[in-house]
Structure 1
Amino acid sequence: MNSVAIDGADARRTAGVTFAASLRFEDIRHGYHGRETIRGVSLTAKAGEVLCLLGPSGSGKTTLLRIAAGIEVQSSGRLLMNDREVAGPSGFIPPEKRGIGLMFQDFALFPHMNVLDNVRFGLTALPPKEAVSGAMAALERVGLAHYADKYPHALSGGEQQRVALARALAPRPGVLLMDEPFSGLDSRLKDTIRADTLAILRETRATAVVVTHDAEEAMRMADRIALLRDGRLVQVGTSDDLYRRPKDLFTAAFFSEINEFSGVVRDGCVETPLGTTSAPGMKDGQSVSVAVRLSGVGLREEGGAIPARILSRRFLGVVELLELAVPGTERPVRSRIRADILPQGLRDVTVTVNPQDIFVFEKQAETP
């Protein structure tokens, strides 16, 4: 039997394999009180992949998850598992018959039940002995078999999260839905618990759809990321796709801090306070937005192309965050550089910009 160490002393059984299913949203629409909250979303979670639904509050990601779970019903469109319609014009399969596991943001453990009974709760269709055996196996996978008789209040937040994961995986669902599963954890624990969870998902080969508002978390976990805004799908792809090839200004700003400038294309280029950059595919006279990542704004004592004056400087450990006065703009330009590159007390510097950290987008009207 293979085992993996968790929290130093605990060992867990290698997780059993699930029968992973694909999950497809086809032109899903949904609304509350006359306001459309999901606007024609089409998206597929492939069998065995981890798909993150990413976006700010109100973007529709949790509503999509609730539609997948059967807690909400879309106003139009279809939901399919392995190409079988589970919600749509042809009918509605209730949540308990979909083969979908759901892990809530607050873990939703029953306080009056011990850990074993919490995990066994989803195995009521099995004979009692088989249900206990399945629940114990699930607890072993997450390294908590020795806590079977304890109650949720006696566990840490990280341990409660792992119990919730064991309960969701115990029935071996075709798709596991996770709603902000790490948001309630201490920041010191989050990285470890997230890595443990991802390892278990990989072992079970489960299809997982994870809701998060944290771009870094999505990049750490997902095979693919679906970025949502105002109920619309903005861009879908790998973390590399969305970070290196953002489709629009919203995507660029969601994945990294940026300086934003407005400009007009002239002879295939646009002038900004940080210099001239090419604008491929843009027409002359077109109004554009230019995004420059903070990490792409380099500073030197001398030798850079643009003079600047340091207005403020914040030490953040590995890096420093600076605000700069730069000719051509009244707004401070921000830069994020490695700490201690510049001498303390320095005021006048020069700026260089990494071309890979500059993006030019067509200026768009605000989303209604």
Structure 2
Amino acid sequence: MGAESLSEAQTGDHARPRTSAGVSFAASLAFEDVSHRFGSTEILSGISLAAKPGEILCLLGPSGSGKTTMLRIAAGIERQMAGRLLLNGREIAGPNVFVTPEKRGVGLMFQDFALFPHMNILDNVRFGLNALSVTAAKREAMAALERVGLDHAARNYPHMLSGGEQQRVALARALSPRPSVLLMDEPFSGLDSRLKDVVRTDTLQILRESRATAIIVTHDAEEAMRLGDRIALIKDGRLVQIGTAAELYGRPASLFAAGFFSELNVLDGEVRSGRVVTPIGPVADSPSSDGTCVTVALRLTGLRLDETDRGVEGRIVARRFLGGVELFTVAVEGLDQPLRSRMRAGLVSENRRDVVVSIDPRDVIVFEKTPEDR
């Protein structure tokens, strides 16, 4: 997307006053021990979680983890093999029950926006309002477009709009029937990186105003932290951890969870006299018994390079300027793999090669090794 589109999104559309979003009757949506497979491939395995009324819940995980399948099951496009789906405590999908998509009160916004190219924007938005009269449907559609700041473009066609504008049209269409739950599948993945912040902020505001429960699929941890009241981390069709952004970042349940929210150096360690000892020295206290083998995850921001004598000696083998920060690769004796450090630019002099490596204990996370890890 070009600079004109960005400027338009930041000034032209955003300078227009918007009406508040129409309020929906928010509902809870719960997955109870939901499993699903395609042929012999297991997609979901015993997923249990619930989005609370009015909550924005982000489903986060790598590609192929089952996130989109969960949305399709919630929308009624797929029928799970096992388990139940409850809307406000009422079963809408289970072994003996299946409520069709149009009767669920659940809205679905696709990743590619799925706008009809032969329809103008107004007709795209009123497409899902067939239960209303033509006059009432147009009135509701115009109100929805006004809420997203695009009422002036009602007669335009999708190809005449920028990517950010098309995203807002898709959001208006999804919200116009006032769904109790709105499902959004990677809604910002097709946007220019410079535009994402603007559109995400707008979308969050509109969701808050509409008060609908929202479940948003993303593979971007930062996006999940920006948008979600809570985050459900999914891996290989299983729920790894659910909680607030602060809980998942500060107290990850596994090395996988820690690595999804931070770039990490991973070291082997052992507990000795109540301390976790690694090749670069002691890094944390531990209540475990002596001899316990552990895995140490060290965030890149917690690896310090300086010229003091507190720490272990290292040598910079590569450095990359990234604007406000620099990314360093540092060789340390006793380690097969170099360590990486992310520090504010300018803290390490340009020509320096030999440094002292020290650790910020706030950026150290310790996991006991299971028998399979050893």
Q: TM-score band, normalised by the shorter chain? A: over 0.9
Unaligned runs of 5+ residues in structure 2 are: 1-10
* 2:80 paired residue number: 74
* 1:219 paired residue number: 225
Amino acid across the alignment from 1:319: V
Structural mapping, 1:223-242, within 5 Å: 223-242=229-248
TM-aligned CA deviation for residue 279 of structure 1? 5.3
Amino acid across the alignment from 1:348: D
- Bigger shift: residues 163-172 or 305-314: 305-314
Q: String of CA shifts for 1:127-177, please: whole Å, max 9, x gaps.
A: 111100000000000000000000001110000000000000000000000
Paired residues, what number? 364
SS of equivalent residue, structure 2 residue 145: helix
> 2:250 matched to 1:250?
no
- Bigger shift: residues 261-270 or 184-193: 261-270
Q: String of CA shifts for 1:20-41, please: whole Å, max 9, x gaps.
A: 1100000000011112111101
SS of equivalent residue, structure 1 residue 13: coil
For normalisation by structure 1, the TM-score amounts to 0.96
> 2:160 matched to 1:160?
no
C-alpha change, 1:364 and 1:105, in structure 2 (3 Å) is farther
Select 1:100's aligned residue among 86, 103, 106.
106
Unaligned runs of 5+ residues in structure 1 are: none
* 2:306 paired residue number: 300
* 2:356 paired residue number: 350
Contact preservation (8 Å) 1:6, 1:143: no
C-alpha change, 1:117 and 1:355, in structure 2 (3 Å) is same
Percent identity over the alignment is: 64
Amino acid across the alignment from 1:145: D
C-alpha change, 1:6 and 1:249, in structure 2 (3 Å) is farther
Amino acid across the alignment from 2:255: L
Q: String of CA shifts for 1:37-95, please: whole Å, max 9, x gaps.
A: 11101000000000000000111111111110111111100000000000002310011
> 2:332 matched to 1:326?
yes
- Write out the 4+ residue segments of structure 1 that deviate beyond 6 Å after TM superposition: none
Select 2:143's aligned residue among 125, 134, 137.
137
Name the CA distance, whole Å, in 2 between partners of 1:279 and 1:64: 40
Name the CA distance, whole Å, in 2 between partners of 1:126 and 1:366: 59
Name the CA distance, whole Å, in 2 between partners of 1:7 and 1:338: 36
TM-aligned CA deviation for residue 273 of structure 1? 2.6
> 2:16 matched to 1:16?
no
Contact preservation (8 Å) 2:175, 2:182: yes
RMSD across aligned C-alpha pairs, in angstroms? 1.6
Contact preservation (8 Å) 2:276, 2:286: no
C-alpha change, 1:364 and 1:276, in structure 2 (3 Å) is same
Name the CA distance, whole Å, in 1 between partners of 2:216 and 2:26: 15
* 1:190 paired residue number: 196
* 2:186 paired residue number: 180
TM-aligned CA deviation for residue 356 of structure 1? 1.1
* 1:284 paired residue number: 290
